Amino acid sequence: MTLRIDNLHVHYGLSHVIQGITLEAKPGEVVGIFGRNGVGKTTLMKTVAGWVQPSDGAIALDGQPFVGLTPDQICRHGVGFVPEDRRIFPGLTVEENLKLGLMQRNQRSRAGDRDAVARIYERFPRLAERRLQTGTTLSGGEQQMLAMARVMIGEPRLVLIDEPTEGLAPMIVAEIFAIIREMKANGIIVVLVEQNIAGALAVSDRFYAIERGHVVLTGDAGVQQAHDDLMRAISV
Amino acid sequence: MSVDVVLQVVVGGVLLGGLYALVAFGLSLIYGVVRILNFAHGTILAVVGVMASVMFASWQLSPVLIALILVPGVFVIGALFYRGLLRPLERRSPLEATIGTVLVTVGALLILSDVTAVLAGPMQRNILLRAPVIEVGDIIISITQLAILAAIVVLTLAIHVILKTTWFGLAVRAVTQEPVAAELCGARSLGIKTLTFGVGSATVAMAAVLYVLTFPVDPYMGFGLTVKAFTIIVVGGIGNLPGALIVGVLLGVAEGLVGLFWGPEWSPAISVVLLLLILVAFPAGFRWRRA
Amino acid sequence: MTGTTTKRGQQWRAARVAVALAAVAWLASTPADAKLGSCTDPVVFGTTISETGLFSTLTGNWRKMTEIFADEINKAGGIKLSSCGDKGVPVKFVVYDDQSVPATAVQLYERMASVDQVDFFVGPDWSSIGGPVPPVAERHGIPIVMGNVATPSLYQRGYKWVWGTPAPAVPRWSERYFDMLAHVDPKPKTIMFLTHDNPVMKAITAVWSKKAAAQGIKVVGEEMFSADLKDFTALIAKVRAAKPDIVYISSFDNPSVPLVQQLRQFKVRAMDVHHAMLTGALKKQVGKDLEGMTGELTWFPSVKGPYADLYERVMDRTGITMFDSIWTLARLNSYLVMIQAIEKAGAVDREKVQKALYKGTFKSPAGDIVFDEHGFPDTGAFTIQMQNDKVEVVWPPDVATAKPIWPSPTWQ
């Protein structure tokens, strides 16, 4: 069960945003994607999630090709996406937001749904406290928690997380990285785009540095030399 | 002008406004989920109303039975209309898709009206049940009116409950608020859109059967209703059921009072005037519910 | 080599032009079988009927009726012309569908004048079409007798060739009804007018509210409503507050359907509710609610009168009745007046026919049609009442089929 992205190309009109990216990730692996603003990191995530159609190349999870599927179909194949702007449903309650996450599951039962919600509340007591509040009344940190919880409740095999800690307090940032570690421990593939490079490298197994739509460097997150190379590669 | 007269007009306005609100619910549901302005929406009321009155006149079926036949039928036709004619347009560029949906829905409006006029005649029809009336002082309320009022209340509550408690309702609200995120969460967009088109059309069909019980319909009256429904949605808010109900009733009462104090020939114009005034006075729209 | 090709090309082109010219000439010449002044060729009437579009519901099978009318006239010997030794000349119609569209009608009358070369124009209906068509007749110098064009001002534009036979004419619309009101017991003291927002209907209210006041019936209210009003609660609340003895509805039949129904639903009480256009179409839509109401009918077979047999036969063979298709009388009258005018002129001569029509008096089943100097008629109407689900003529007494039931029991 692996994620395989092969020679992916994406165009926005005339601009060639992703120019042949190849990437691989195994279950229980956290892959960090780094690069300056506008190099195509978010586009890469959106393409995997099905929001953007690639002009060439292949994406497959566990040998199952994704290209051409709609976002909701890809979602049902076990891909969870936490976008940068979180996309919480503003007028729905916390609980309703979570229930929508359940729609990602292929097999459902009343009891199973109830258990899943209960488990999420156990893990996120803050959300349990606010279960009947609407999305707009949550703080930024709470919204991020909700966005991640909404993905987790769907029992995904692959989670794409785009800039989860941006603008959040250090305590909440630590909490978010802790959640990512839990995902990893559960055998989920995590692809993480993050500006907080130090924090992200600490939870990542491997990283990819992207520059103008190309992968310019890959490396092992545990090796100090690779860190230095990464900093050099993306600060040019 | 006596108080009785004003009250009588208000009662009539509430009834008519409740029916407007039912029409607006369907339009609001469809726009919220599918993001298509269905210009043929009011025409569904006109056509179903004509069909209902023809069924009543030809076979003396009870209005309840007529509703049981027509409402599911319109549900299926609404769903097929979306799948067959509107869905294919979504593959086009946004501009082409928008223009395409306007052309398809306006075309459907014209075709529906003309075909109905050719088959059933262009005259006004309704289902006239001479129910007993209740006289309170100088105010007259018929049992039919009360039944329609009750049906409007029950239907509004039913739609509210469906939206609040079912998975379909949850998905509808989610797609209305955040179409992209709803797809992220695996809400089956094609299925929900199709279902919504069916439900939205069925709501109007229901309103149509209630409408012909007191007011006549003709094949060409639909567009005026669509405009009223647009007004209600713009003022009440997309996907806001209580808002639509309040605005619908206000519109109905306003039409009645304009007729009373100014002249009935001005009543049909009031919705457009109201819409323009509100657009000018509150260009940013209303905030109905804020925590 | 090139020379021959060019030459052959030129020949071809010339041949094609010739064929095209021949085709145009043939097209232009075909239907022109009418010759003014002839005693053998048929007299050709050109007309348009709103067979499709907005007004199509008002024209009940009139194409067939027009053919049958011509057939009946011709069977009886045709149009008698003194210039042909009182020999009868057959009449023939050229009929087009104007689609209820004024511009289409104008084009068709142009076409009939220049391509079909008809002798006379008859019949177009409705003020919207009857407005723009007369200038075509004026330009070509062709006499036209229009049908249901009831707005008097359309005739007052200095035309020389234009007449019309709308029935009834606005100034005589409710003459007999108000005569009846002067004779009934108990006498009505108050009247309220409910008017459909339309030029003809507003004109009727203007004329007859003045007449009511002059006759000593107080006008206690005048309300207007638009054709698409469905909820008449406000208007009816005013009627109930004003408590008039007579409610006079001045409206086309279709827009007043909800009004009549809601008057019943809200139990409005009055001596009589009068409808200026009490028609079979209205009856079909409101049914029993019409019981006891009064209205006008321009003509009714039992009234008899000149040419009544002809009209009855034509309508029987076409399968229409006066009550269901009230516009039929004016349509047939336009044909009949033109035929009488030609017979008076004694020749198929437009100038002479024009002179015969000017301020002329013509026979019709509903009485004499007398044109004023503008070409507008003075046709009146009979007062009817729905009694036991049937139409009865109740005034004037000499032609009445039943006595008026007064006050109308259904509004008590």
Q: Is the same domain home to C80 and C193?
A: no
Q: Inter-chain contact B187–A72, Cβ cutoff 8 Å?
A: yes
Q: Dmax of chain A from CA atoms? A: 54
Does residue C391 carry a pLDDT above 70? yes
**Does any domain span residue C35?**
no
Q: Give the residue from B265, B266, B270 with the most C CB atoms within 10 Å of its CB, the best one to mutate.
A: B265
Q: Inter-chain contact C225–B264, Cβ cutoff 8 Å?
A: yes
The residues in B 142-161 lying below 8 A from C, measured between CB atoms, are 142
| Domain assignment of residue B9, given as a range | 3-281
Helices then strands, counting H and E runs in chain A, come out as 9, 10
**In chain B, which residues have their Cβ closer than 8 Å to the Cβ of A81?**
184
Return the SS3 of C290. Answer: helix
Q: Is the same domain home to C242 and C386?
A: yes
DSSP code of B169?
H
Question: How far away is chain C from the Cα of B65, in angstroms, using its nearest Cα?
Answer: 22
Phi, psi at C206, each rounded to 5°: -60, -45
Instruction: List the one residue out of C217, C220, C214, C208 whose CA is nearest residue C244.
Output: C220
Q: What pLDDT shows up at residue B191?
A: 86
Q: Inter-chain contact B173–A103, Cβ cutoff 8 Å?
A: no
Instruction: List the one residue out of C381, C377, C170 whose CA is nearest residue C295.
Output: C381
**In chain B, which residues have their Cβ closer than 8 Å to the Cβ of A138?**
none
Average pLDDT of the residues of chain C: 87
Question: How far away is chain B from the Cα of C185, in angstroms, using its nearest Cα?
Answer: 28
How would residue C29 be classed by pLDDT, with cut points 50, 70 and 90?
Answer: very low
Q: What pLDDT shows up at residue B290?
A: 38
pLDDT per residue as tens digits for the range A90-138: 889 999 999 888 887 777 788 888 888 999 999 999 999 999 999 888 9
Alpha-carbon dihedral angle through residues C217, C223, C226, C230, given to the nearest 10 degrees: -100
Q: Inter-chain contact B185–A88, Cβ cutoff 8 Å?
A: no
Q: Is the same domain home to C231 and C260?
A: yes
CA–CA separation, C368 and C355 (whole Å): 18
Q: Is the same domain home to C96 and C185?
A: no
Tokens at residue A100, please? 């929508």
Domain containing residue C157: CATH number: 3.40.50.2300
CA distances (Å), origin C34, targets B172, C43, C81, C257: 71, 7, 15, 47
How would residue B289 be classed by pLDDT, with cut points 50, 70 and 90?
Answer: very low
Give the closest of B256, B257, B265 to C225, CB-based: B265
**Does any domain span residue B288?**
no
Does residue C45 carry a pLDDT above 90? yes
Name the residue in chain B with its Cα closest to that of A159.
B184
Q: Which residue has the higher pLDDT, B234 or C192?
A: C192
Q: Is the same domain home to C192 and C265?
A: yes
CA–CA separation, C295 and C293 (whole Å): 7
Q: What pLDDT shows up at residue A109?
A: 83
**Does any domain span residue C115?**
yes
Task: Output the CA angle A73-A77-A81, nearest 5 degrees.
Answer: 80
| Fold of the domain built from segment(s) A3-89+155-234 | Rossmann fold (3.40.50)
State the chains in contact with C (3 or more Cβ–Cβ pairs under 8 Å). Answer: B
CA–CA separation, B77 and B249 (whole Å): 29
Q: What pLDDT shows up at residue C36?
A: 61
Contact between A159 and A191 under an 8 Å Cβ cutoff? The reply is yes
A144 touches chain B (CB under 8 A): no
Chains C and B in direct contact, meaning 3 or more beta-carbon pairs closer than 8 angstroms? yes
Q: Inter-chain contact A83–B177, Cβ cutoff 8 Å?
A: no
Name the residue in chain B with its Cα closest to that of A136.
B291
Q: Give the residue from C231, C243, C252, C282 with the most B CB atoms within 10 Å of its CB, the best one to mutate.
A: C231
CA–CA separation, B19 and A233 (whole Å): 66
**In chain B, which residues have their Cβ closer than 8 Å to the Cβ of C256?**
none
**In chain B, which residues have their Cβ closer than 8 Å to the Cβ of C285?**
123-125, 216
Give the closest of C224, C255, C286 to B263, CB-based: C224
**In chain C, which residues have their Cβ closer than 8 Å to the Cβ of B121?**
57
Q: How many domains does chain C have?
A: 2
Q: How many domains does chain B have?
A: 1
B228 touches chain C (CB under 8 A): no
Average pLDDT over residues C12-20: 61
How would residue C86 be classed by pLDDT, with cut points 50, 70 and 90?
Answer: confident
CA distances (Å), origin B3, targets B6, B10, B139, C95, C231: 5, 10, 10, 58, 19
CA–CA separation, A221 and A236 (whole Å): 20
Q: Interface pTM (ipTM) of the complex? A: 0.81
What DSSP element (H or E) covers A17? strand A15-25
**Does any domain span residue C246?**
yes
B129 touches chain C (CB under 8 A): no
Query: Ramachandran region of residue C25, left (φ > 0), alpha (ψ -120 to 50) or beta?
Result: alpha
List, in order, residues 6 or more apart from A23 with CB less than 8 Å away: A3, A4, A5, A8, A31, A208, A215
Q: What pLDDT shows up at residue B195?
A: 93
CA distances (Å), origin C12, targets B183, C6, C373: 68, 10, 59
Tokens at residue B290, please? 């804020």
**Does any domain span residue C23?**
no
**In chain A, which residues have their Cβ closer than 8 Å to the Cβ of B189?**
70, 72
Does residue C22 carry a pLDDT above 90? no
Q: What pLDDT shows up at residue B137?
A: 77
CA–CA separation, B152 and B22 (whole Å): 7
Q: What pLDDT shows up at residue B68?
A: 95
Chains A and B in direct contact, meaning 3 or more beta-carbon pairs closer than 8 angstroms? yes
**In chain B, which residues have their Cβ closer than 8 Å to the Cβ of A160?**
none
Question: How far away is chain B from the Cα of C277, in angstroms, using its nearest Cα?
Answer: 15
**In chain B, which residues have their Cβ closer than 8 Å to the Cβ of A72?**
183-189
Q: What pLDDT shows up at residue C32?
A: 41
| Domain assignment of residue C224, given as a range | 171-297+382-411
Task: Output the CA angle A213-A217-A221, nearest 5 degrees.
Answer: 125
Domain containing residue B77: CATH number: 1.10.3470
Q: Is the same domain home to C145 and C217?
A: no
Q: What pLDDT shows up at residue C137?
A: 95
Name the residue in chain C with its Cα closest to that of B131.
C265
A77 touches chain B (CB under 8 A): no
Domain boundaries, chain A: 3-89+155-234
Name the residue in chain A with its Cα closest to that of B185.
A101
Q: C337-374 burial, b if ≥16 CB within 10 A, otherwise e?
A: bbbbbbbebbbbbbebbbebbeebebebbbbebebeeb
Other beta carbons within 10 Å of B209: 27
CA–CA separation, B213 and B128 (whole Å): 6
Return the SS3 of B267. Answer: helix
Q: Inter-chain contact B260–C261, Cβ cutoff 8 Å?
A: no
Q: What pLDDT shows up at residue C30?
A: 43
What DSSP element (H or E) covers C359? none
Q: Inter-chain contact B256–C231, Cβ cutoff 8 Å?
A: yes
pLDDT per residue as tens digits for the range B167-222: 889 988 888 888 878 877 777 778 889 999 999 999 999 999 999 998 889 888 89
Q: Is the same domain home to C278 and C388?
A: yes
pLDDT per residue as tens digits for the range C306-353: 999 999 999 999 998 888 888 899 999 999 999 999 999 998 999 999
Q: Inter-chain contact B264–C226, Cβ cutoff 8 Å?
A: yes
Average pLDDT over residues C8-32: 55
pLDDT tens, N- to C-terminus, chain A (236 residues)? 689 999 999 998 888 989 999 999 999 999 999 988 888 899 999 999 988 889 999 999 988 898 888 888 888 888 999 998 888 888 899 999 998 888 877 777 888 888 889 999 999 999 999 999 998 889 999 999 999 999 999 889 999 999 999 889 998 999 999 999 999 999 999 999 998 888 899 999 999 999 888 898 898 888 888 788 888 887 75
Q: What pLDDT shows up at residue C10?
A: 58
* Residue type, position C147, single letter: G
Could you list the beta-strand ranges (E) of chain B.
133-136, 139-142
Q: Is the same domain home to C134 and C244?
A: no
